[in-house]
Amino acid sequence: MAAPYQLGQVLPLSLDPHNLPKYALFTVLRLFMAMAFALLFTFTIGTFAAKNKRAASIIIPCIDVLQSVPVIGLLSITVVGFIKLFHGSRLGPEAAAIFAVFTAQVWNIVLSFYQSLCSVPLELKEAADMFHLSAWQRFWRVEVPFSVPGLLWNMMLSMSGSWIFLIASESISVNKQTILLPGMGSYLRLAISQSSMTGVLYTIFTLFIVILLYDQLFFRPLLGWSKKFTFEQISQEYVTRSWLAILLQRSSILKYCGNFFEGLGDLFVNFLFLKRAQPLRKAKHMNETTFMILWYVVSAAIIFGSLYLLVQFIARHISLTEIPTVLFLGLITALRVIVVTLICSIIWVPIGVLIGLNRRAAKIVQPVAQFLAAFPTNVLFPIVVILILKFQLNVNIWTTPLMLLGTQWYILFNIIAGASALPEDLKQATANFGVKGWQWWRRLVLPGIFPYWITGTITAVGNCWNTSIIAEVVSWGATTLTATGLGAYIVKQTAIGDFPRVALGMATMSVFVLLMSRLIWRPLYNLAQTRYKLD
Amino acid sequence: MDKQAIFTVKNIRKSFKKAEQQELLVLDDVNFELYEGEIVALLGKSGSGKSTLLRIIAGLSEPSSGTVNYRNQAVRGPVQGMAMVFQNFALLPWLTVLENVELGLEALGIPRDERRTRALKAIDIIGLDGFESAFPKELSGGMRQRVGFARALVVNPDVLLMDEPFSALDVLTADNLKSDLLDLWTAKQTGTRGILFVTHNIEEAVLLANRIIVFNSDPGTIRAELTVDLLYPRAEQEPAFRKVVDQIYALITRQMDEHKKLLYKDQLPRITDIGYRLPDADISELSGLLETLDQSEYQGRISLPELAESLHLDVDALFPLTEVLDILGFAYVSYGELILTDTGKQFANADILERKKIFAAHLLRYVPLAKHIRQVLEERRAAGQRASKDRFLNELEDFLSEKEAERVLRTVIDWGRYAELFAYANNTGMLSLENPN
């Protein structure tokens, strides 16, 4: 991967199916490398934030914003930076692709870890103090295990969500050039540009296999394993037992390996150099309040300073008259996102509830929905494009389902989880009083699944915004379909390398996402947590 | 008996800082020693600061002033030689029983093989044989606390600190564990030289301790000290045992009598101010207690130990109820007896609507906070006779900690809703005079 590389150079790629295993391997490697970096980032930055209140007061709001910003649009800017950084090596675009996937994965993982660290029960902390655990031992014996269930669940969600960006980030059009990294994403791009239906089908087939393996060999066993770490008995109905875990538990190989790893883990946790007793309390010396004020002033200065620079950068190149146009494009995309969410809900709420109420059906459908959520839908885009071309459909309307394809599963599997979590006694009570039909939906089911619906919807909406950057411009062979919208605007400006306009588009999208989150989703979420939570 | 002190607690004061200059005093001028070969119980109501004191001794929490000296060294953080057993066990659910017991040894840097041998031995002693590879989730509460004991004892502590170690267990399990602990102690199977434990259960203190330190609450101070010379094993039915228990009840209620004398004026039930820490008491519990008192077998008068026994309540659950009855003028405590008043009798015999009326009248008369809320709402004619809960919360926070203010207001709102003095909408946090349709 360290071969010399220049922007514009075309890496040899071919549609020969014999290359598929190799390409799939590259793609998966990128995914896992991004995850490794995300974990490293989580363990350092998340821990830092949890241990230092002052740091947290800056880091956490930043992460909160970053997780709602559609990071895929940043790819164009970062790729230039990375190519310069690794001057002339192929590591540049590789790093950019991995970075893009990293930014798609990391934020919710850090937040979950931070929240777990902050909610380690006092008694456990006291026990750790009482038995003189060093900071290192405490981290691996108490803090990390405590956060494992949340951490793993978020890692899995992130990985599922990032497949689509992985595919997109392997082939980037930036500054009138197209960079193609060997992998499934580039294979797909090549197949599209050559109008090769077989190529597209090969991609779909390969990714299906890869994600099936990932789901069965990685996702499910890990989720099953994470149950061991739940502190209280919270039932995770929507996690099914993994056949692999059962198989491993029954075999004696695991026992042998287990002993080996236990020994290794033991050495790691009790690593001698990091064994140090807790420091004794010292008298407080610094004037806390002055320091706090200073800290906030400095951080505010940095944040507003960089915002100012961004505005300057945009304003120097773009006239103010363009801003209303961009805002209008943002509104169109926002409308698309809302319509998609509504359509998803109308379709999947009744179906999800019916499935969720039937324990056997839920058991079968739930893993399938989780699997489908991981499947990168941009692979299916060519098929939709062909249909649009064939039936001469309206591009602005019919590219919208592309956003729906990927995001609907988040709503579906949350609804299933919610419906199966409806308490048996409530169902019996309503049946006993003869509550039926619309009243049954209005009084029991809809309020009962509301918290789950809102959780699913928030994830789905985040995905929708991200997907809009991929889904508003689609092509087949020499034909490119462009819908009106902010996503298409960003893609267009990226391709011609107009960075001020890319920045303007990204900033506008971020503002839209943040406003919608603060004004619609957050209040609804709070309402769900206070009023509709069943426990 | 050589009276060598293991640790000395000197002039301990602890207050929690609240916003601007306000302090909530939790412990005030506490002095005592733990001598070698002693089991000492810290006995008091919940919220009397005894758990805070235990944590200060353990080095988990810092006193505002005063010192703790352990073996002639100031305690400035968790010290080697003290081990703690926690109320809710504090076991790591992701570690097996064996790994949990090994935790303290691991922290000491003891090699793996030695750790294992010692942990297995401790597990053996504490009666957990066969559960080594189980996870805490698979165990019952009693077994979990056994792991807690094994974990503490395996590091061979000089002092064992226990924070209400039996309160999360059912009665039978707790008895079983207590007698096992005493067996270990009397057989001197461990290197432990002293035990200090916190409890609110009088019988438990008398069963285990050589010395009982009775705590006053608000702020926590030492009320009295009592030596218990009974031989182990002690039996709750023995007259000598009962005598000690009655003695302690008398001690605690005399404290309440004196407290009351300060507040009673002209023989009227006391007028508490707005910031009074109203205890938690459920209306149905209060009514139930009054009905019990009114039963023919008691004739409106019952001794507290008897009451505690017949209702299966311990001090912690019983005293808030008696205190509220006292505040409202339905019953009062005198020399270890709870006595029903005339209005109390009237209440016990009334029907639901009548009860609400009596309760409302007494609430307005004796609980200034309830009266205050009602007045504010009445004055707010222009604003639709509504007021936000936060408004009252802010007022209360001048007197109480945030958590306490929240609790007290919740209690008064509950009472006020029952008495139909005012209505409350939980989702908006608004108090109002009108009832929702």
Q: Which of B59, B94, B108 sits opposite A228 (nearest CB)?
A: B94
Q: Which of B90, B135, B427 sits opposite A124 (nearest CB)?
A: B90
Q: Which residues of A touch B155 (CB under 8 A)?
A: 131
Computed over every residue of chain B, the mean pLDDT equals 85
Are B109 and A229 an interchain contact pair (Cβ–Cβ within 8 Å)? no
pLDDT band at A401 (very low <50, low <70, confident <90, very high): confident
pLDDT surpasses 90 at B162? yes
Question: Which percentage of chain A shows pLDDT scores above 70?
Answer: 86
Are B108 and A124 an interchain contact pair (Cβ–Cβ within 8 Å)? no
Q: Which of B86, B93, B94 sits opposite A127 (nearest CB)?
A: B86
Q: Which residues of B touch A266 (CB under 8 A)?
A: 112
Give residue A5's pLDDT. Answer: 56
* Three-class DSSP category at A392: coil
pLDDT surpasses 70 at B265? no
Mean pLDDT across the stretch B275-287? 85
Phi, psi (degrees; rounded to nearest 5) at B211: -140, 135
pLDDT band at A329 (very low <50, low <70, confident <90, very high): very high
User: If interface means Cβ-Cβ distance under 8 Å, which residues of chain A face chain B?
Assistant: 121, 123-124, 126-127, 129-134, 137, 141-142, 145-146, 148, 228-231, 233, 263, 266, 269-270, 272, 275, 278-281, 530-531
Tell whether B90 lies on the interface with A, counting CB pairs under 8 A: yes
> What b/e sequence results for B19-42 when a residue is b if at least 16 CB atoms lie within 10 Å of its CB, and e otherwise?
eeeeebebbbebebbbbebbbbbb
pLDDT surpasses 80 at A264? no
Distances (CA, A) of B104 to A262, A263, A351, A366, B85: 18, 18, 52, 42, 12
Pick from A76-80, A141-145, A251-255 the range whose average pLDDT is largest.
A141-145
Q: Which residues of B touch A263 (CB under 8 A)?
A: 112
Are B90 and A126 an interchain contact pair (Cβ–Cβ within 8 Å)? yes
pLDDT surpasses 60 at A274? no
Q: Which of A132, A134, A272 sits opposite B78 (nearest CB)?
A: A132
pLDDT digits 0-9 by tens, A155-172? 888 888 888 888 888 887
Tell whether B191 lies on the interface with A, counting CB pairs under 8 A: no
Q: Which of A133, A230, A266 sits opposite B107 (nearest CB)?
A: A133
Give residue A372's pLDDT. Answer: 83
Mean pLDDT across the stretch A507-515? 87
Please, what CATH class does the domain formed by A318-535 belong to? mainly alpha
Token pair, residue B353, equals 């609507």
Q: Which helix (H) or strand (E) holds B303?
A: strand B301-303
pLDDT surpasses 80 at A258? no
Give residue A349's pLDDT. Answer: 93
| Residue pointed to by tokens 């870890």 | A113
Of B51, B91, B92, which to mutate for an interface test with A (greatest number of A Cβ within 10 Å)?
A: B92
Q: Which residues of B touch A123 (CB under 8 A)?
A: 86-90
Mean pLDDT across the stretch B28-48? 89
Closest CA to B128 of B160, B98, B86: B98
Cα–Cα dist B130/B153, whole Å: 18
Q: Which residues of B touch A233 (CB under 8 A)?
A: 137
Q: Which of A134, A228, A263 sits opposite B107 (nearest CB)?
A: A134
pLDDT band at B207 (very low <50, low <70, confident <90, very high): very high
pLDDT surpasses 50 at B10? yes
Q: Which of B86, B92, B112 sits opposite A141 (nearest CB)?
A: B92
Tell whether B78 lies on the interface with A, counting CB pairs under 8 A: yes
CATH 3.90.241.10 occupies which residues in chain B? 266-437
Residue with more model confidence, B201 or B383: B201
Give residue B356's pLDDT. Answer: 92
Third-level CATH fold of B5-251: Rossmann fold (3.40.50)
pLDDT band at A428 (very low <50, low <70, confident <90, very high): confident
* Three-class DSSP category at A234: coil
Mean pLDDT across the stretch B308-334? 82
Q: Which of A123, A263, A530 sits opposite B86 (nearest CB)?
A: A123
Are B78 and A130 an interchain contact pair (Cβ–Cβ within 8 Å)? yes
Q: Lowest mean pLDDT: which of B208-222, B261-275, B386-400?
A: B261-275
Are B76 and A281 an interchain contact pair (Cβ–Cβ within 8 Å)? yes
Q: Which of B80, B95, B109 sits opposite A275 (nearest CB)?
A: B109
Tell whether B111 lies on the interface with A, counting CB pairs under 8 A: no
Q: Which residues of A touch B78 (CB under 8 A)?
A: 129-130, 132, 278
pLDDT digits 0-9 by tens, A343-366? 999 999 999 999 988 888 888 888
> What b/e sequence results for B164-180 when a residue is b if at least 16 CB atoms lie within 10 Å of its CB, and e otherwise?
bbbbbbeeebbebbbee
The alpha-carbon gap from B109 to the nearest alpha carbon of chain A, in Å, equals: 7
Cα–Cα dist B124/B134, whole Å: 14
Are B107 and A131 an interchain contact pair (Cβ–Cβ within 8 Å)? yes
Q: DSSP readout, A117-149? A: HHTS-HHHHHHHHHTT--HHHHIIIIIHHHHHH
Give residue B20's pLDDT. Answer: 56
Q: What is the 3-state secondary structure (H, E, C) of B211-248?
A: EEEEEECCCEEEEEEEECCCCCCCCCCCHHHHHHHHHH
Tell whether B104 lies on the interface with A, counting CB pairs under 8 A: yes
| Residue pointed to by tokens 């503002």 | A511
| Polymer length in residues for chain A | 535
pLDDT surpasses 80 at A272? no
Mean pLDDT across the stretch A470-488? 86
Mean pLDDT across the stretch A397-421? 85
Of A116, A126, A130, which to mutate for an interface test with B (greatest number of B Cβ within 10 Å)?
A: A130
Task: Report the CATH number of the B266-437 domain.
Answer: 3.90.241.10
Give residue A511's pLDDT. Answer: 87
Instruction: Confirm if A345 and A352 have CB atoms less than 8 A apart.
Output: no
Beta-carbon contacts below 8 Å between A and B: 80
Q: At a CB cut-off of 8 Å and minimum separation 6, what does B132 contact?
A: B96, B97, B98, B120, B123
Of A131, A526, A531, which to mutate for an interface test with B (greatest number of B Cβ within 10 Å)?
A: A131
Residue with more model confidence, A49 or A66: A49
Question: Domain boundaries in chain A?
Answer: 17-230+239-280, 283-316, 318-535
Instruction: Confirm if A420 and A357 have CB atoms less than 8 A apart.
Output: yes
Q: Which residues of A touch B100 (CB under 8 A)?
A: none
Q: Which residues of A touch B55 (CB under 8 A)?
A: 126
pLDDT surpasses 60 at A1? no
pLDDT surpasses 90 at A100? no
Pick from A27-36, A433-442, A489-498, B234-243 the range whose average pLDDT is largest.
A27-36
Phi, psi (degrees; rounded to nearest 5) at B55: -70, -30
Give residue B157's pLDDT. Answer: 92
Are A131 and B103 an interchain contact pair (Cβ–Cβ within 8 Å)? yes
Q: Which residues of A touch B93 (CB under 8 A)?
A: 228-231
The alpha-carbon gap from B34 to the nearest alpha carbon of chain A, in Å, equals: 19
Chain B residue at shortest CA distance from A137: B107
Domain A17-230+239-280 has CATH 1.10.3720.10: yes
Q: Which of A130, A270, A272 sits opposite B84 (nearest CB)?
A: A130
Residue with more model confidence, B166 or A266: B166
Are A280 and B103 an interchain contact pair (Cβ–Cβ within 8 Å)? no
Give residue B266's pLDDT. Answer: 40
Give residue B260's pLDDT. Answer: 56
Specify the pTM: 0.77
Mean pLDDT across the stretch A454-471? 85
Mean pLDDT across the stretch A495-505? 84
Q: Is the peptide bond before B233 cis (omega within 30 degrees of 0)?
A: yes
- On the question of a common fold for A17-230+239-280 and A318-535, the answer reads yes
Are A280 and B77 an interchain contact pair (Cβ–Cβ within 8 Å)? yes
pLDDT digits 0-9 by tens, B54-103? 999 998 888 989 999 999 889 888 888 899 999 888 888 888 899 999 98
The alpha-carbon gap from B130 to the nearest alpha carbon of chain A, in Å, equals: 19
CATH 3.40.50.300 occupies which residues in chain B? 5-251
Give residue A238's pLDDT. Answer: 43
DSSP B437: -
Token pair, residue B402, equals 């945030």
Token pair, residue B224, equals 């009295």
pLDDT digits 0-9 by tens, A169-204? 888 776 677 778 888 888 888 888 888 889 889 988
Q: Which residues of A touch B86 (CB under 8 A)?
A: 123, 126-127
Tell whether B62 lies on the interface with A, counting CB pairs under 8 A: yes
pLDDT band at A237 (very low <50, low <70, confident <90, very high): very low
pLDDT band at B267 (very low <50, low <70, confident <90, very high): very low
Q: Which of A126, A137, A275 sits opposite B60 (nearest CB)?
A: A126
Residue with more model confidence, B46 or B126: B126
Q: Which residues of A touch B94 (CB under 8 A)?
A: 145-146, 148, 228-229
